[in-house]
Structure 1
Amino acid sequence: MSRPVSTRLSPDAASHASAGGVLVLLRLENLALAVAAVLTFRATGGTWGLFAAVFLLPDLSMVGYLAGPATGAHGYNLAHTYIAPSLLAALGWAAGNIVWLQIALIWGAHIGVDRALGFGLKYTTSFAATHLGQLKRHS
């Protein structure tokens, strides 16, 4: 008889992160999403001032790490998944609010750039443990 497969992530879940060709594809697809978001932002008449003002806002979620790695990871992941900016874009589109749509596009571009650079979703063990692999320190 086989054991049931657990759906809970183990503490060493980061060791099961994407690697090799899959990692390259994940980074490239996120770079493509970032480029598409920036081009769409410009096509909607977005200004570079708005882009600069909003682009780094999702990184404020890292403040959660002051309360510990689990709280930090949850906050970071909420701000760095495509779910919230997709919902904001849909709301902006439905309401005819171009600024909401533009903010959603900037947010999506931020996530795409982060992922292209290797900053993946965080595991609760540490900031460096991501779904794209272990972040490396450069000295």
Structure 2
Amino acid sequence: MSTTESTVSEVEAAVRGTLAAHKSMYLATSGGDGPWVGGVYFAEVDTFTLVLVLEDSGRTLAAVRENPVVALVVSTGSPAQPFLQARAVAEVVDGEWDARVRERLVAKVPEAAPFLAYPIRAVRLSVTSWRITDLPNGWLPGRELTPTA
């Protein structure tokens, strides 16, 4: 295995571990009302696909509908602990995907279940690239992870 393959594998493992260790993230959007950041619960479908729900009449969902390109941060809030940053494309989903989103979200974050009783919409995020910053591993600047073809 080459150094590059080892590094990609190591970075991917760190991204997966960080995602698994967190139930919530900050989601940044930009619509007609300008930029907006909100906290949301999320679950992973795979390393590059996250799912969540948004309030049907909320500012975040309105911005996603206007501009589906979003940014996100998965972090404890401490720069001394590993954290993730990413760009993604958000898609409001219905039907089978709506049910999958709700099921996966509650499986990871049981405390999110009460939100499902409110008017919400299921959203799938397709992450275009991850950046992980991990000071204990010496990853400053952070390491990039993009999907393989």
TM-score, scaled relative to structure 1: 0.31
Higher-strand-fraction structure: 2
Higher-helix-fraction structure: 1
TM-score, scaled relative to structure 2: 0.30
Larger radius of gyration: 1
